[in-house]
Amino acid sequence: MKLMTEKWFTEIYPDEGCALSLELSEKLHEEQTDWQKLEVYQTTGFGRLMLLDGCIMLTSRDNFIYHEMMTHPVLCMHPAPENVLIIGGGDCGCLREVLKHRAIKHVQQVELDGRVTWASEKYFPELCASNNDPRAELSFTDGVSFIEQAESGRYDIIIVDSVDPVGQATRLYDKEFYRACFNGLSNHGILVAQSESPLFHKNLIQSMQSRMADAGFKGTTTLFFPQCTYPSGWWSASMAFKADRPSNHRSVDIETKYYNNAIHLAAQAMPQFMLNTDK
C-alpha cells in the first residue's frame, strides 16, 4: 500500500501499523509494463528510487547492502563456484556483484520483466556496469519454467532475487520450485533466496526453509542484514545446501561496501526469537 503527496512517497505496512516515507524531488519515469507498474523517482536523501506496484524495490543509497549479502556469502561458502543462475534480479545489482568473483565462468540471469532491466540501465547505470561482461547472459522469460527445464546439475549457485510472494512471484516460494532448483544444482550446490523481514515475516522464513528441506536440501541457514528502506529496516536471505553445509568460507579479494569476513560470520547469528517456534 502506498500514499503519494506532491513531495512524499509513503509505503504503508497496514498489518504492522507503520510506514516509511521518502521525500521526492522529481518523477523520472512511470509505465505499466506487461507485468507491473514501474516508477522511478529522484529523492532528496536516498538518490533514485524504483517502485514496482507501489512497493520500494531499491534506492541508490542503500541497495549495495542487499546485493552484496545476496551474493558474496553464498559464493564464498561454495568450494569452487563457476556457473551461477540468477532468477529475477532485473536491476542487475546481483549480477554485478557475482561477476566481481574472477573464478566465475558464466552467469545466467532470468528476469520476467525486461522493462525493469531497461529502467535500471537508464536510471541506475552503476548497477548495470557488468551487463556486457562476456560471462553474463541475460534472458527475459519465466524463471520457474526456466529452472524446471534446466539441465540437471548445471549450476553451482542459484540466487533467487525475487519480489514479495504475491501474484506471479508466489511460485518462487513453492516446494515444487525448490525441487527444480535442487535438481538444477551441482553436487555441492547452494540456493539462496530473499526471505523478507525476520521481524515481520518470521513465519514466511520458517515455511520457506521447511519447503526447501522437503525438496531435498540437507540443511538451511538464514542471513540477517539491515535494509533501511525495506519493511522494518531488517532483512534476510535463506540459504539451502544440496550437500552438507560448509564448515568455513573462503576469503576473496573483491571491492565491497558492506560485506567482509566479520559480516559473513555475524550475519548467520540467529536471534533468540527466531529459535522459539511457539512465538
Encode the chain (279 residues) as per-residue pLDDT tens digits. Answer: 666 667 999 999 999 999 999 999 999 999 999 999 999 999 999 999 999 999 999 999 999 999 999 999 999 999 999 999 999 999 999 999 999 999 999 999 999 999 999 999 999 999 999 999 999 999 999 999 999 999 999 999 999 999 776 776 788 899 999 999 999 999 999 999 999 999 999 999 999 999 999 999 999 999 999 999 999 999 999 999 999 888 788 888 899 999 999 999 999 999 999 987 654
Vertex 259, ends 180 and 228: CA angle to 5°? 85
Q: Which residue is it, cell 539491515?
A: 226
Strands 155-161, 185-194: pairing is parallel
Task: Report how far apart, in Å, the C-alpha atoms of 190 and of each of 95, 126, 163 are.
Answer: 17, 27, 20
Which residue, 272, 206, 140, is CA-closest to 131? Answer: 140
d(CA 65, CA 72): 11
Catalytic residue, candidates 91, 113, 156, 161: 161
Residue 279: its pLDDT value, please?
A: 45
pLDDT at 172: 87
Q: Do 2-59 and 63-275 agree at the fold level?
A: no
The reply to whether 164 belongs to the active site is: no
CATH 2.30.140.10 fits 2-59, yes or no: yes
Domain limits, the chain:
2-59, 63-275
Q: Which CATH number fits domain 63-275: 3.40.50.1970, 3.40.50.150, 3.30.1330.30, 3.40.109.10?
A: 3.40.50.150
